[in-house]
Amino acid sequence: MIESKNLNPELIRAMKEKKIDIDATLALLNTINSTQIDEKPAIQFTGLPNIDGKVIVNCKNLDFFDAPEARAKEILALTNLPETLATSKTNGIWRFERQALIRIGTALFAFTAYGVLNGGSATSYGDVKKNASINADVFNAIKPIFDTLAPLCKDKPKGITPAYLNPDGSPGESFLMCKMRILVEHARTYHSLFGKPLRELLPFFQMTSDGTDDALREAYREYEQHPWLKKGMERTGTYPTRPRTAKQPLIAAFTHSSHGNPRTIFTEAYGKPNNPLALPGGHGQSFQVLKNIYQVLLNDGYRFAMLGNVDNMGYYPDPLLIAVTALSGNDAMFEFTYRTPLDVKGGIVVTLPNGKITAIDIGQSIPLAQVLEFERQGKTVLANCGAGIFDLKILTKKIDTIIKSLPIHLTDQDKDAGKYSQAEQTTWEVIGLLDKPGGLAVEKKQRFLAAKMLTETILGSWSNTSAFPKEFAETARLMQEGIHTVLSGPCNLKLLNGKWQAED
């Protein structure tokens, strides 16, 4: 067993300076060594699921949704909406057409909280090795703008780095600014339909870390006066700049598998002795970190909670998806879409031996080569969008079991800081731990505009795609269409003089 007294005093000093939780790091390290965790998949699966309309609902161009009568009555009573919104009632099933679903989902803004996983800094995001590994031709084509943007992201929380490029080539607003703008615009829509609510609409909550919390707080103070938000917040009483927050502890990176077992702390980041690397312990820790926030939200009258990644421009409250989730009666619903060549990181959806679905991470639990082989066989690989909507009544009851049951993964990394291993828990493996999980099959260009790498952010705004390989050019155009849709649609922005701007 490794104890703090066995560590070099200079290493301990450096860990404290970098706000690494030494006790949490050593406890995790000793668990890894005692259980012989390695990089093999921790989850056994039997195959890939189909979009069958039962476990996974096809939400692309959804015309109607059929809900169990008891659940329909419960949700309509919760939102004080009339039962006449159902167009038919047959054999205990109530059918709701698209416009009725949107109205129900909008009414549920008063009962739904919006959460962001905001604990990570942009370590991998602007890493040259990681970005160049996606495709050499693509990276060479965008390198000039990459070299300009990468310094803007270094050592910052990814959420406050530019989420897009303006048509004039200037950096756009941040991921979090865009999300906050949507929350305020949605609050305006609610007010126009239903008047003043009993509680704050779509309250914003987040998981930060010791490495990001201070920078985020400073950014939010500045956002209070931002023209995209200020008037809307004052009119609606929805203040995403004042989130409910819980901090995730930072842990140290561990030695690479090539150094053998037992693992120890990685002490030579960037080639410097006694220089540890501070990392969050994976977004799966969010259930432990956010546990009290979920309970308080439920106590305050909120029934549902959205949770998603900060780097996905397509992750925002969609009334249609909220309504389908609420009416389904499932423990939670998670967003899935079709994998593209850029989806070399993140999760895919698989079927477990018990017939339920879950998400496992590429590289962490399944090799990318196996994912590509599935596609060569003609199978549909659904990528996890990193977004879910939970029923808070169910989540708060099961959360202690979830915290204990989420597996720990140890994965090798080769980045600018060196070769090391990272211990993580993955949020979306929670899907397989729920009794009744479900999926929302959504369109990528609308809902999964993720930017795990800075290259992806650039592709989402890069006008000249002729130098790209065909599949990357197609993906870039898809992302660009999606970013344009988000900015012009739910963000309610206009293109003026080469920049996205708010007119109000």
- Quick: pLDDT tens for 153-186: 888 899 999 999 999 889 999 999 999 999 999 9
- Name the E strands within 261-356: 278-280, 304-309, 332-338, 347-351
Residue 337: beta bridge partners? Answer: 383
pLDDT of the residue at 41 = 46
Per-residue pLDDT tens digits for 366-375? 889 999 999 9
Sole residue written with tokens 């979009």: 51
Instruction: Give the distance, in angstroms, between the CA of residue 350 and the centroid of all CA atoms in the same chain.
Output: 19
Torsions phi, psi for 318 (to 5 deg): -110, 120
Q: Which helix (H) or strand (E) holds 250?
A: strand 250-252
Q: What is the pTM of this model?
A: 0.87
Does domain 4-501 fall under CATH 3.40.605.10? My reply is no
| Distance from C-alpha of 201 to C-alpha of 320, rounded to nearest angstrom | 16
pLDDT of the residue at 120 = 64
Say which residues have a Cβ less than 8 Å from residue 218's Cβ, sequence separation at least 6: none
Query: Is residue 500 a contact partner of residue 172, using CB atoms and an 8 Å limit?
Result: yes
Per-state percent for the chain, helix, strand, coil, to nearest 5: 40, 25, 35
| Distance from C-alpha of 41 to C-alpha of 409, rounded to nearest angstrom | 8
Torsions phi, psi for 360 (to 5 deg): -125, 150
Long-range interactions of 370-378: CB distance < 8 A, separation 24+: 371/339, 374/48, 375/339
Spans in the chain with pLDDT lower than 50: 39-41
Give the 3-state DSSP-derived string for 14-78, with helices as H, strands as E and coil as C.
Answer: HHHHCCECHHHHHHHHHHHHHHCCCCCCCCCCCECCCCCCCCEEECCCCCEEEEEHHHHHHHHHH
Torsions phi, psi for 165 (to 5 deg): -110, 140
Which one, of 444, 416, 448, 462, lies nearest residue 149 by Cα?
462
| Distance from C-alpha of 307 to C-alpha of 286, rounded to nearest angstrom | 10
Angle between helices 470-488 and 175-194 (to 10 degrees): 40
Which one, of 114, 59, 53, lies nearest residue 337 by Cα?
59
| DSSP helix/strand/coil, 485 | helix
pLDDT of the residue at 54 = 73
| Distance from C-alpha of 93 to C-alpha of 71, rounded to nearest angstrom | 10
Instruction: Count Cβ atoms within 10 A of the Cβ of residue 15 and give its class: 0-12 exposed, 13-18 middle, 19 or more buried.
Output: buried
pLDDT of the residue at 123 = 65
